[in-house]
Amino acid sequence: MTTVLLVRHGLTAVTGTVLLGWTPGVGLDDRGREQARALARRLAPVPLAAIVSSPLQRCQETAAAIGAQRPEPADGTDQARSITFDDRLGECRYGDWTGQEMKTLAADPLWRTVQEHPSAVVFPGSGGEALRDTAHRAVTAIRDWNARLGPDAVWLACSHGDVIKAIIADAMGMHLDLFQRISVDPCSLTVIRYTERRPFVIRVNDRGDGVADLLPAPRTADGATDGDAIVGGGAGTAE
């Protein structure tokens, strides 16, 4: 059984308000760095065969924080401290939506399709990607790394909200059109165990914290309506 730890990057200064996509040079803010360090401490006892990351800076920094706290192997086992980058785990290429505020995007007619029929969405403009293609490349990357690392491996993939949601949907046998029902918050941990017969989803959106997400949620000013999923994954319950 190959076990994959899926980690979304930590918070940036604009997570949940601006759709970053492949915008370069955006790293974690102070909250995101602390999230990454806290998760690294939680995962320190887990032996990892590899840490594989999206090449985008916010993921690089999250993965590096986890790698930095890997213990020195005491018995010769291979516990990963270095990071390998895989473009297939990179964010969806949002085309003309990249860099725009969520409240602006929520008024775009395409927003409704993203919510209700994401498998039909192709983001507009040069380089805009179909969400179904994002899902395909991400799931293919996971399967490829599973095969490369072997059936006894535990490894970590650091990626983005929509990418991880697509991987979870595949593992659960859900159509991509249902993936907006899944929440993947910043620096959350999702665990999937892949067997020869089927994947088993062990944890989803585990943040290892208290009950803040169980309290009544305040209304936000992002332009989304009740029941809408935030493209890119949003900021979770971060203040």
Q: What is the pLDDT of residues 2-26, one digit of tens each?
A: 999 999 999 999 999 999 999 999 9
Which tokens belong to 232? 């890119």
In a domain? residue 224: no
Query: In which domain, by residue range, is 37 found?
Result: 2-209
Q: Distance between CA 50 and CA 155 in Å, rounded?
A: 5
Mean pLDDT for the stretch of residues 29-55: 96
Give this prediction's pTM: 0.89
Q: Which three-class secondary structure state does DSSP give residue 81?
A: coil
Enumerate residues 6+ apart whose C-beta is below 8 A from 48: 5, 70, 79, 80, 154, 155, 156
In a domain? residue 25: yes
Q: Distance between CA 28 and CA 30 in Å, rounded?
A: 7
In a domain? residue 16: yes
Q: Distance between CA 69 and CA 41 in Å, rounded?
A: 7
Let me know: does 203 contact 189? Beta carbons within 8 Å.
yes
pLDDT over 90 at 182, yes or no: yes
CATH number, domain of 127, equals 3.40.50.1240
